[in-house]
Structure formats: structure tokens, C-alpha cells
Structure 1
Amino acid sequence: MPVIETARLRLRGHRQDDLNAYFQLHADPAVMRYWSWPAWTSVEQAQDRLSQVIGQRGANRVLCWAIADQGDDRLLGSIVLFAINREQGRAETGYALSSSHWGRGLAQEAMAPVLRHAFDVLGLRRIEADIDPRNAGSCRLVERMGFVREGLLRERWCVAGEVSDSAMYGLLAADWRVRAR
């Protein structure tokens, strides 16, 4: 798991000592409002998922970074490349950031080096993002990063009895490189 450092963040592998912060992140109804599963209600859910995330590190299909504060290394969120398909040159991305850290540009600061890693190190040509179209902040984030909204999948998810659509976004390596200049 490559460690990536930015001005304010350290992207690193998740650790067992992240458990409490990881639970708090996914138990926050604001963070989970547009997620594909409801907010967690028990620390056991966090432990199960954290163990899975840590166990997937060598699988070459998932790269899940903890977004940590550069100063004290505490977990602020997560960002992932998943469904990595090197033969097809594509992957999907997702992210979650503690609501107390929203509006400070941290998600964008984390996303840029992950995209650079996907395109320059992994050699992928396409990254996709599946976003609930009501999540205006997340839509703006990926659009600022150069993603293009390519379609709408109606009634794609049903989470806690609520049916929602998916706005599908794509970013091509060629477009990223033009923007990165």
C-alpha cells in the first residue's frame, strides 16, 4: 500500500487503531446520507469492514487509503480505487470524509494524488464514480477534478427503504493529463 503525502494529508493503509474513527465516520448519518448502505449502528460493523479492507491490500483489485491528518495521523476519511481491472484499464473510485472536515478542500486534496497514482503508476485509462445526484457536493468535487457526467441510472440503489438514482461519472487519463499540465 503506497503512502502518499500532501500538504495537509497522509494517505496510508488502514490500521486496527483506526477502528473508533472508522466507526464514527460510517456511523455519521450526514456522511452516509448518499452511500450505498445505511449508517452503522455498532462497532462490530466497523470491525468487520476494517478487517476486510486491511485483508484486501494484496488483492490488486482494491486500493483503499485512510485519509489521515498530516500532523497527528488520525483518520479523517477513506478514499478507494476498487473494481480495478488492469486488462480493461479501468477502476471505480469512492470516498468518505468526516463531516467535521467538509468544506476545506480535503477531499480534492486526497483525490488528486489517487488519480495520479491510478493513471501514472497503475497505467489505467479510465476512472468511474457512481454518485447519488442529490449529493451536490460530491458531484461538484468530481467535476472540479475533470470527471464528466456520462449518464443517469434510475432507481439503481435501495438503501434503508429509500430508492435512489446514480449519476455516472467518468474521467479519462488523456483528459486528466491535459488538466494536470
Structure 2
Amino acid sequence: MYEENFITDIPILETDHYLLRGVALEDSKALFPILSDKTTMKFITPHPVLGEEDVKLLITTYLTRFTEQKEIPWVIVHKESNEVIGQFRLHKLHLWHRKAEMGAVIREDFQRKGVMTEILQSILPFFFDTLKLNRLVGDIFEGNVGSMKLLEKFGFTKEGVLRDTDFDGEVFHHTVVYSMLRREYLENK
């Protein structure tokens, strides 16, 4: 069965300027300022983490889901400075259906600088060629125009808008769903 051949270690993926390596509890100190920043998290959650212990709990959850074959969690490291500048996750991973959703959080001073463009150039071959999965999804808050443009640039298909899917304590937000299928990836390769 497909699940038996799945990865047992989080692989290191490398781009020109960035390294994706498996998240570890020791990354909580570097991730806390990123995951607690309301501006950075505005398109992800209205309730950012409140302390480093919250980040450790998140990391523990990510790693548990990895061992259950439900997620692959990385930190994004800037190669020149060796700083953790964000995280990238393939989550909602379902091996039988061969699909996952991606999620990224990038430190504010690295946003709009091509980080995700580089990362997707490594993630897409890993996802479709190495893992041989079939469907990669990006669910994006409707106001997150930068992420929508990024996915469109890479050939993701806008599937539609899910209305009022997330509540931030004051207002509801629509979610725009994008996906790429393996056959589309192979056609555009």
C-alpha cells in the first residue's frame, strides 16, 4: 500500500537562498516572534500564539501529525544568515487520496521578496515527482492578494470561493480555493 512507502524523515529541501528543514522544538524561540505577530498572521488566524510554550505545543502537534503521516512541517532558513524566517507545511495530508494542503508563514521583513517563489520551485517537484501525490491545495483568505497572484503565477487553478469560512472575532472571511493536479504539473514542467 502507498502509505507503507511514505517518508520516515522530514527531508531537507534547498533553493538558492533558502533551506527547508524539519521543524524541531528548538525552533520555538525563532518562530515565536513570527507566529505571534498580528500583521504577519492576519491572513492565517486572528489569534496568534501568546508565548513560546504555545509554539512548542504547535511544533509537538506538527511532529505528531508527521509520524501519523498527516503532515510534513518545515522551517524556512535563510542560508546566508542561518536565521529561521518562517515555516512551511504540507498539512491535511491524506495518502490514500494523495492530496495535501500547503501553508506558509513568512517573517514580515522577508515578505514580498520572492521567498515563496523559490520555495514553490522546490516544493512542487518534491510533492508531485518524489511523493507522487496528485492534488496540492492552497486555501487563501480572500484579502490575501499576494498569495493568490503567486499561485496563479505557478499555474494553480482557482476553484472557487467558500463564503464566510473563518471568523476573526469581528467579521467573517471568505476563502479562495486554488489547486494543482499532478497532470497539470507534468504538462507545465
Q: TM-score, normalised by structure 2?
A: 0.89
- In the TM superposition, 1:1-181 aligns within 5 A as 1-180=10-189
| 3-state secondary structure, aligned to 1:83 | strand
CA contact under 8 A between 2:38 and 2:46: conserved in structure 1?
no
Number of positions where the alignment pairs a residue of Structure 1 with one of Structure 2:
180
> Runs of 5+ in structure 2 lacking a partner?
1-9
CA distance in 2, matches of 1:168, 1:30: 22
User: C-alpha separation between the residues in 2 aligned to 1:151 and 1:57?
Assistant: 29
- Structure 1 residues 25 and 142: alpha-carbon distance in aligned structure 2, compared to 1, 3 A threshold: same
| Unaligned segments of structure 1, at least 5 residues | none
* Separation in structure 2 between the aligned mates of residue 125 and residue 108 of structure 1, nearest angstrom: 21
Q: CA deviation at 1:37?
A: 4.5
Whole-angstrom CA distance in 1 between matches of 2:67 and 2:28: 20
Identity %: 23
Distance apart, 1:46 and its partner CA: 1.3
TM-score scaled by length of structure 1: 0.92
User: In structure 2, what residue type is equivalent to 1:22?
Assistant: L
Q: Give the stretch that moved more between structures: 108-117 or 146-155.
A: 108-117
For residue 46 of structure 1, give the secondary structure of its aligned residue in structure 2.
Answer: helix
Distance 1:74 1:59 in 2: 29
Structure 2 counterpart of 1:79, one-letter code: F
- Aligned residue identity for 2:78: D
